[in-house]
A and B are shown apart, each in its own frame.
Chain A
Amino acid sequence: METEFTPWLSLGGGMMIGASAVLLMATNGRIAGISGLTAKIFTRSSDGEARGVSALFVLGLLLAAPLWLLVSGDWPQQWVPSSPVLMAVAGLLVGFGASYGNGCTSGHGVCGISRGSARSIVATVTFMATAFVTVFVMRHLIGA
């Protein structure tokens, strides 16, 4: 399925993501890494304050689309792969990999690169590479 190239909206939306990361660091002193914050909600050993802050950040994420619906009258436009097996496997790998590798697109890709962290730069290059290869295999070799 083709999608329209949206340089300005994507740049603007990306800047909002950056503003969010700076705001969370300035007020709470925490990295806006979604996998880390999500995992923290479910980790009994993390302190209560960290869990609360993480839960509220994720609640904010969950409220974004309903707010969008309220203001624009429509849900955000999207197409989601519908194969249940594919999405189950994808979810498992994303959750496992992000937690095992200490970060995902936001923690490593945005916050880590912005700090000049060597670990995050290497992690981002690695997951970009395997993602490109995966899509190539799925779309051009298997033809799914």
Chain B
Amino acid sequence: MKQIFALLSGLIFGIGLIVSGMANPAKVLNFLDVFGTWDPSLAFVMGGAIAVTAPGFALLFRNRQTPLFGNTFRVPTRNDLEPKLLTGAAIFGIGWGLGGFCPGPALTALPVAATGTLIFVPFMLAGMWAARHTPDISPNANKGAA
């Protein structure tokens, strides 16, 4: 049962990305181009998503100790701000601004098979692999990942 809902969640997520226009890198890049051809749509996507997720999570965690098909809610518990988090986020943002793709939209757009997407996705996977094999250089390393 949980597998069916995982598949369904992914499908709804992908359709949401397409409906919102976020599977189109042009819209993302235009959101980031405030001094050019600005398109504020992405702010509405984030707003809509958080407007559902925040109360949804709150209700869920208040009313249930466990998910419907599982033993625990796997939610990160860390609250420290370490260099690794900031370095990763900063690098991620540069790549996002270059290509207009983040992981969800890139995977959703993959079957459309635009040349740029077919190049982006394998390199993205390579980047993920490289990150897992890069040691944490920050002083507070070895506390475990979130």
Q: Which residues of A contact B (CB under 8 A)?
A: 1-7, 9-32, 34-35, 38-39, 42-43, 52-54, 56-68, 75-84, 86-102, 104-106, 108-119, 122-124, 126-136, 138-140
Contacts and interface: CB of A to CB of B under 8 A. Distances in A.
Given A58-B107, A64-B15, A75 B112 contact: yes
A80 B114 contact: yes
Contacts of A13: 15-22, 45, 48
A114 to B, nearest CB: 4
B94 A61 contact: no
B94 A78 contact: no
A68 B54 CA distance: 28
Interface of B: 1-3, 5-27, 29-30, 32-37, 39-42, 44-54, 56-57, 60, 64, 66-76, 78-81, 84-104, 106-112, 114-117, 119-132, 134, 145-146
A59 to B, nearest CB: 6
Contacts, number: 502
B16 A24 contact: no
A130 B87 CA distance: 11
B86 to A, nearest CB: 6
Nearest to A22: B56
Contacts of B49: 14-15, 17-18, 21, 110, 114
29 contacts: A3-B26, A5-B40, A10-B45, A18-B50, A19-B16, A25-B56, A34-B103, A39-B128, A59-B10, A60-B8, A62-B14, A65-B108, A89-B123, A92-B127, A97-B87, A97-B91, A98-B92, A101-B87, A104-B103, A110-B46, A114-B54, A119-B85, A122-B86, A124-B89, A127-B89, A130-B92, A135-B33, A136-B33, A138-B97
A17 B16 contact: yes
A17 B45 contact: yes
Given A14-B46, A77-B24, A78-B23, A140 B36 contact: yes
Contacts of A100: 84, 87-88, 91-92, 131, 134
Contacts of A5: 39-41
